[in-house]
Amino acid sequence: MKLSTIVMIGAITFLLPSCILTGSSVEPSSIPTPNIYVETEIGKYLEVTAPNYWNSFKTNEAITLDIQNISDKPITYDSDFDARIFVLTDDKWIEAKNKLIYENDQFILASSEGSVLEKFATIYVQPELLDYSVISYIRIYVAGNLIENEIETKKVASYIDIQLKP
């Protein structure tokens, strides 16, 4: 009888954290984001990562994003990468304010054939959340302008989904 009680308590302890109310009952990746009017294709132009070694993934801390140009064309970008942050609330994405302020500079990410240092960039974002004491799912879009024949031809974007914890 004691062994079954211990097993039951262990199972409840293990499963309980997955039952915490987070404001969403579905997987974040299955909910489409509102149209941001930019060509967004993961794996075509920009690759966005949030390295574990730079991030705590806490609701009240900034998030470091590494961005790589994976296209065969250079991409220009503003210092904020036109970052847009969405928070999953009641099974829909709601845009949130980025609390960080950036300089108004423009840079170029070299094409995938460029040197390693020229095709990578790092930015920081910090979403303004309604409640910092609950788990939040956020989607961060970054965008730049594709350069073809030395002319900016179209805006391209990618995104990353991140879970933040209190």
Domain positions in the chain are 25-164
pLDDT, one tens digit per residue, over 61-90 is 999 999 999 999 999 999 999 999 999 998
Say yes or no to pLDDT of 150 above 90. no
Task: Look at the block and give the residue holding tokens 């993961």.
Answer: 42
CA gap 20, 26 in Å, rounded: 13
Q: How many helices (H) and strands (E) does the chain have?
A: 1, 10
Predicted pLDDT at 27: 67
Question: What fold does the segment set 25-164 form as a domain?
Answer: Immunoglobulin-like (2.60.40)
Question: Chain centroid to CA 106: how far?
Answer: 21
Instruction: Please report, as a single letter, which amino acid is at residue 158.
Output: S
**Tens-place pLDDT, residues 111-122:** 877 777 788 999
Higher-pLDDT residue of 28, 54: 54
